[in-house]
Structure 1
């Protein structure tokens, strides 16, 4: 029961004075929620400067200039109090305008509602009615009225559609409220009874009985009072047995299952049970499978994969709008455009650097190192600047000629060999002449040394150590791990068992985790079992968890 000192407590204007007076009087005083700083009042319309702030300024005068006033000629008039959040309300008290010459006939047949929705978006079927005035034309309602309203709500709405006949010729519904006071229960929202026990089975309940309040989100606002379960299901946009959970905003038309909140259908561009996942931006029309996210209508230009979440082999970048370098072989990485391999003669991450002019079969993509032609040296096979030392035939080896001509014009004197023509051929060669690359005799050996030259002059890496004495070519191929006609080149260490083609050094098979002709390229770390296609590098057995794309090179 409210204390008799309530008006005195309110008029003191501060919470401190309210507490002190009520404490020393020994009586419990409820707080007037309408006077809180967080409370906002609103009128349906305002007449001649009589604004809504006059209805909660603490002044209880009932004359015209102390009261709020709505416009005439309107079919409906209302005053709304927004408490900012839901409160357990005890009662509402209204002070209505009255004067000797002006009675409260416009106050007839008003009604008092509470709701979780504002007056501008709700109708009476979505509210809970606390009070209805049934005064007829011959009588007047009290101008000060205190109404019980044991409800939990955020909005308190005073509304009327009554057109008083005394206003003729003025027409329309009007309100003239001088002050409105809203008091909360001793128990906070979600509790009831003298000892403020928790509501059972619902978020809010009757402050005395503990029976559940049927929320506005219940269809027709009907529920089982003992459990709070909505009888006819939920309003659109809500789910759960008491319709207290909201459907995802990504559900089409906010429609979802009442049992688990699963969306009936997703809005465009979303997938998953609650449509919380986004289709790839590479999907045509942003349309993808509801469960898997695979693009339903294929990929937009330059995108690839089942989910259109990576770029095709010729493009890269976050929107796949950047073009891979023309020097890329087999495409480039979709994230940064680094080439998977380079065309012959180029190297670098973007294949924008040129291999040394003396490289045989191109060079390493990352270091630029290569196998050199004769007349070139160091890792990049550059011109050594031949000057015709030792046994150089100066007519065929001229230092100022361009390097590419030098390779074809260089020739040693008949009894010399080597890059600098500074090594003498074996004295066992007939006529003393030998190959410019090594000391293999150009023609026949001297007869008394034929056995020695036929066997020991061929390198150990020739099979059976047998070679052609005229050109140094190994007659029966190379030992394992070597290739080229003279078996002077090593197979890549990435070739399985170091086996490679005798003619060009291409690996027969790559060791695990490598691919490419000479197995120099590494499979993506995202490949299952580090296994990928020998030519393209695409993962053979799919991707490890959390990796994606044909090459499993993106997260």
Structure 2
């Protein structure tokens, strides 16, 4: 057994009854909004979403405010507002509101009844409740009598359904909460899902002459009539002599007969056949518009043949537009031949665009020869781009010779890129000599990379001791005795100070050559002292030649008596005693033979 309570105020009714299933819930899953929302709440390790969309999610099993099925608002609010956007204007029958109960019995002792009291419901075509219709405002419920859930019959058309409550005017009625609060668990808006229909099954079409096809959702009575009609179903035409919305306007006395008045616009009938829509002036019969191709008071004169779409001014004969290739008041002149698509100004004949290679008002001037694709400004003749190697307004200036591909800025002449080895606005500056491949940054001149052995923005710093190669990125071998012994250009290093040019093998440290006077793998052995020029074989130390007075592999043997000079190749002459002969110069040391 169900209890039905009928509460009537103004033009709406509130009915506490079981849910009606003849209409569809138009609010389910639609976009919502509320002021001062509580977005979510954490209960233990679970986070519950309390946003405005909870009131249209179809869930209302848990009616506690923190159960995740209901909306919540912040505390201490003077007003709360919630709305759902149905997406378009629908015919609404009733609205069901389920308020939070805390999963407790609803009644005077339920702590949430005081927050529900005093609420209002609006239907509006905008997001503002002030622009809409008040469906219901609670002014008489108490904590003991307010129903939950509550069905509100509201047979109106609208896009937004707005729930509102406030605590702004003290003193409040008995049982009201001190602050406004919004704890909606579900708002269901029932109505017809397709505009223009009514009835419990929404299968009956509204009468065709209802304004905007809007009618009452239960009885199909029009909520307004289109112009020219009246009656509950807007199926009665206006009486002769009347027209307009609800037939409220009276036709002009200039209509010959009342039945000649158009019931929608009030214009008189029986116009000339070329009048547009057969409409003419209500008193003198002159056309209010002409069919395409005609002009004149009675639209009896054909428009000029070159008018676009054969349309011309209704009284002056001048064309409203010209066919391509023509201009003038009646489109009798041909556009200049170099106009793009043969289109020109309808009155002046100046081209609206030029064929490539031409410019000027009538496209009679040729673009400069160095313009890219021979295209230039339609009025100034300045090039829209230049051939490679040229710049300037008319591309008459040559780009600097060091520009990459001879390309430069069209107006400034600054290079867009430089040949290798150059930088600067016109590529007139040479890159630093130690830049890798002589390439550097086009504006600053900083190197894009360094030759081996150098580092720095301009590659003007040698590698630090112990580093070598490109950008000093490689570390010298551990076989170098000292970091400064590493060659900063190559992978060759010096391990001993007696290596020629201080260069040695990168892996075993053996010298690639020795300074004069030294030999051995690391040039640590001195050549025999009598070697000519102190030079000897790099590995076995045999002299490459002997000083005068010596011979032998290591030049450690003096010349035999009677011989002297280099390699002991000369005989002493005139010495009484061969042993007295100087083995270097061949002198007899003062004792000569008498022979």
Shorter-normalised TM-score: what interval? 0.3 to 0.5
The structure number with the bigger radius of gyration is 2
Normalised to the residue count of structure 2, the TM-score between the two structures is: 0.32
Normalised to the residue count of structure 1, the TM-score between the two structures is: 0.34
